[in-house]
Structure 1
Amino acid sequence: PSLMPGGPRSAYEALEPMLRSIAAQVDDGPCVTYIGTGGAGNYVKMVHNGIEYGDMQLIGEAYDVLKTVGGMSASEIAAVFEEWNESNLQSFLVEITAAILRTSDDLVGDGSALVEKVLDQTGAKGTGMWTVQEAAARLVPIPTIAAALEARYLSALKEDRTAASAVLAGPSTDAAPSVTAEEKAALVAAVRSALYASKICSYAQGMNLIRAAGKEYGWGLDLGSISRIWKGGCIIRAVFLDRIKAAYDVDAELASLLVDPGFASELASAQSAWRSVVTTAINAGVSVPAMSGSLAYYDTYRRTVLPSAQMVQSQRDFFGSHTYKRLDKDGVYHTRWSSDGVTETQ
């Protein structure tokens, strides 16, 4: 397994030989490192699981788009994920997704894909919820992970969704879309880019939450070492983690993985396909909350000025005298918006 021990360093050092021997072994050593004092290890494990929620939902959305928009069969999509597992998307979750899609329903015995018979209600044990709660408490935005959690909650509303399907209209689409081979290939390539770009955003959000907690509690976390021990023995193990470690090795105080030059370049290259996939899914009535949440995160993070935030803060000052700051002047201000429009310096 990947081990994330916290607590007194002396305790870790006493147990280190045993921990190193039982941890998963990868190309650059055992998947264990001292995380930090107190509850640092438990916290990092919790956020690991939150990232896992995001990863799984993103893969699920990629599957939905290929199936529903692309009209692809389970075996066709399995071949896609097998190919992706030989690329920069190589991971345990991509690997098992291909295996799931290759599995036939042995109870019916008609050769149909088992995944298509599974009840569409996703369970949750609590670590995703705790991660979202912690992020909210620390003012750290993690929209991809939050969207993944809420997607599970929405999936649980099976009876409500079934009843709503008879009332709520969606876009007019064919039950079995007719897609040419060339269109399928283009969609597969676009979804691959969208999945990879969204994955970068999800990991960036999780690492930023770990960093925020580490600073608050004085854990002295090494984000590069943490990402390294996730390369084996855990659900999110992936070749992608080498890139994350390299980014933090270059700059341990990196504000976000999004601004690492390598990741920033890849996001720029992927964004056209990424936007296309989200738009195509929306137009087809296919919800992709984690992919679209990742894209919204990227677009918000890259903008110097947010007009929506300007409006919301002005509204707060209008109805609650919450004050505001200005872009062009120092100080704190309140405007009497509903009366004489006079602005006061607080």
Structure 2
Amino acid sequence: MSQAEIGLIGLGVMGANLALNIAEKGNRIAVFNRTVETTRKFHADAGELKSQIVPCETIEAFVAAIRPPRPIIIMIKAGEAVDQQMEALKPHLAGGDIMIDAGNANFRDTMRRFDALKDTGLTFIGMGVSGGEEGARHGPSIMVGGTEESYARVEKVLTSIAAKYDGEPCVAWLGENGAGHFVKTIHNGIEYADMQMIAEIYGILRDGLKMTAEEIGDVFGTWNRGRLNSYLIEITEKVLEATDPLTGKPMVDMILDKAGQKGTGKWSAIEAQNMGVPATAIEAAVAARSISSMKGEREAAEKILGLPSIGEFQVADRAAFIKDLENALLAAKIGAYAQGFAVMSAASKEFGWSLPMPTIARIWRAGCIIRSQFLDEITSAFTKAPDAANLIVTPAFAAMVKETDGALRRIVSAAVLGGLPVPALASALGYFDSYRRGRGTANLIQAQRDFFGAHGFDRVDGADSHHGPWGSV
């Protein structure tokens, strides 16, 4: 019997779906799970794909079943479990073999693992996989970090299983060590911001305009046929139109308002701060999820403080207001994506990755959670201006910002006056206003820092005098 082209450890939901995808695309795959019964059941349930799958009940049999140099995907819980699995594998591997972490790993762990294998003859790939269960099964967006040689060994398999956009596979080698997992982290940070902005718009429609879930779903459905066309807008319509089978009420109205998070959004915000790059929309989204989890405190605070006394939410022209909401969401999304790409650009310089921005936008156009029509325009913008300092100063996006930021300003103003929280939308507006202003207010901050800590400052006239006359004040 011929050897498998690739191996996979971990037959949880994501691992099982990815293995089936690999097998379905004509690649023979060996699989192993710590629980033997899980492996047996997976193989038994594989139907017509069984012949493409080699179920293995020991690590020794698993490794022997794969064609050298052996690429082995590890699809288990991120963190220490991956290190333990790697240590268990190492004694059975030979020079050139590749361990591939396809989970949501912290890219710094990926860099550590990559470096730890440098002198062993083995190598490591950190592979970001986006698209959830459905993407894993039918075509995800795949972001690869590792050596070019190790990518060449798995490129045929990954190209076959990746999502396709106009026939082009949404997979790419992005650089050494942690490049792939870093890009996946920023993808998730943008996802956090995008979802939070959508939720804030939903809040304005629900609590400001008093619209029903079904009515709001219709609005998002209309938007999905225009410039906001995207996976997240598409599923928002579907979520809002779904009915709870237990009560007959809108499903979304029966869901507790506490959002979970697994860490990638937080990592995005932390790394942006580490590199001194503003990612205010991502930060606002992470903070909003944290506040949402404080359900008991929020309910207690409402009893003590009450809601803002602002009277009725007044909208003179409902249709015009909803159009403003559409444009405000587009503007805010531009801000979030611009911040995410700026963080990746800074990381590319810091870690020597040479991240290809047009390629990243291109492989996000299908398969991943933030896939949208919008990414075609980002691909084009960075292709024409690969060294642009920021997405919002490229010609196409500068024009879009000028066209839509008035709507964002009106919506944020209306929400604030109406007592409706819009932290991510407001952060995007603040980002635009700060980034576009040539003369800001940090001169006062520098004066204060010099006053209490003698930190010094630069002068507008370039004179060689870097401290103020504070002693005489």
**Hey, what does 2:192 align to over in structure 1?**
53
**Hey, what does 1:321 align to over in structure 2?**
454
Q: In the TM superposition, what is the alpha-carbon distance from 1:295 to its structure 2 partner? A: 0.4
Counterpart Cα distance in 2 of 1:82 and 1:184: 17
1:166-217 Cα deviation digits (max 9, x unpaired): 1214432457x576xx722122101111100000010000011111111111
Unpaired runs of 5+ in structure 2?
A: 1-139
Q: In the TM superposition, what is the alpha-carbon distance from 1:67 to its structure 2 partner? A: 1.2
**Hey, what does 1:334 align to over in structure 2?**
467
Q: In the TM superposition, what is the alpha-carbon distance from 1:66 to its structure 2 partner? A: 1.2
**Hey, what does 1:160 align to over in structure 2?**
297
Counterpart Cα distance in 2 of 1:231 and 1:324: 45
**Hey, what does 1:239 align to over in structure 2?**
373
Give the 3-state SS of the residue equivalent to 2:177 in structure 1: coil
Q: In the TM superposition, what is the alpha-carbon distance from 1:43 to its structure 2 partner? A: 0.6
**Contact kept in structure 1, 2:310 and 2:417, CA below 8 Å:** no
Whose RCO is larger (CA < 8 A, sep 6+)? 1
Give the 3-state SS of the residue equivalent to 1:99 in structure 2: helix
The answer to whether residue 391 in structure 2 is matched with residue 257 in structure 1 is yes
Partner amino acid for 1:156? S
Counterpart Cα distance in 2 of 1:119 and 1:14: 46
1:270-291 Cα deviation digits (max 9, x unpaired): 1221111000000111010000
Give the 3-state SS of the residue equivalent to 2:371 in structure 1: coil
Unpaired runs of 5+ in structure 1?
A: 342-346
Partner amino acid for 2:372? A
1:22 counterpart (161, 166, 171): 161
Q: In the TM superposition, what is the alpha-carbon distance from 1:78 to its structure 2 partner? A: 0.6
Counterpart Cα distance in 2 of 1:216 and 1:153: 29
Q: In the TM superposition, what is the alpha-carbon distance from 1:108 to its structure 2 partner? A: 1.1
Name the one with the larger strand percent.
Answer: 2
The answer to whether residue 270 in structure 2 is matched with residue 137 in structure 1 is no
Partner amino acid for 1:312? I
Partner amino acid for 2:348? G
**Hey, what does 2:332 align to over in structure 1?**
198
Q: CA RMSD in A?
A: 1.4
1:151 counterpart (285, 288, 292): 288
1:210-269 Cα deviation digits (max 9, x unpaired): 111111111111100011100111100101000101011001111001101111111111
Counterpart Cα distance in 2 of 1:171 and 1:161: 14
Counterpart Cα distance in 1 of 2:379 and 2:396: 12
Partner amino acid for 2:216? I
Counterpart Cα distance in 1 of 2:325 and 2:368: 25
**Contact kept in structure 1, 2:331 and 2:408, CA below 8 Å:** yes
Counterpart Cα distance in 1 of 2:444 and 2:173: 45
Partner amino acid for 1:263? F
Counterpart Cα distance in 1 of 2:457 and 2:254: 54
Give the 3-state SS of the residue equivalent to 1:34 in structure 2: strand
1:34-67 Cα deviation digits (max 9, x unpaired): 1111110011011110010000001001101111
1:92-150 Cα deviation digits (max 9, x unpaired): 000000001001121112xx211112111111100011111101110010000000000
Partner amino acid for 2:262? K
Q: In the TM superposition, what is the alpha-carbon distance from 1:330 to its structure 2 partner? A: 4.2
2:223 counterpart (64, 84, 91): 84
**Hey, what does 2:209 align to over in structure 1?**
70
Counterpart Cα distance in 1 of 2:465 and 2:425: 37
Counterpart Cα distance in 2 of 1:328 and 1:178: 49
Counterpart Cα distance in 2 of 1:16 and 1:101: 39
Q: Given the two structures, how large is their TM-score scaled by the length of structure 2? A: 0.69
Deviates more, 1:161-170 or 1:86-95: 161-170
Partner amino acid for 2:383? D
Greater Rg over alpha carbons, structure = 2
Counterpart Cα distance in 2 of 1:186 and 1:13: 53
Counterpart Cα distance in 1 of 2:362 and 2:425: 25
Q: Given the two structures, how large is their TM-score scaled by the length of structure 1? A: 0.94
Partner amino acid for 1:324? F
Q: Percent identity?
A: 43
**Contact kept in structure 2, 1:70 and 1:187, CA below 8 Å:** no
Partner amino acid for 1:133? I
Counterpart Cα distance in 2 of 1:223 and 1:178: 43
Q: Which runs of 4+ in 1 moved over 3 A?
A: none
Q: In the TM superposition, what is the alpha-carbon distance from 1:28 to its structure 2 partner? A: 5.0
Q: In the TM superposition, what is the alpha-carbon distance from 1:159 to its structure 2 partner? A: 0.7
Give the 3-state SS of the residue equivalent to 2:141 in structure 1: coil
Counterpart Cα distance in 2 of 1:163 and 1:9: 55
Partner amino acid for 1:267? V
**Contact kept in structure 2, 1:85 and 1:94, CA below 8 Å:** yes
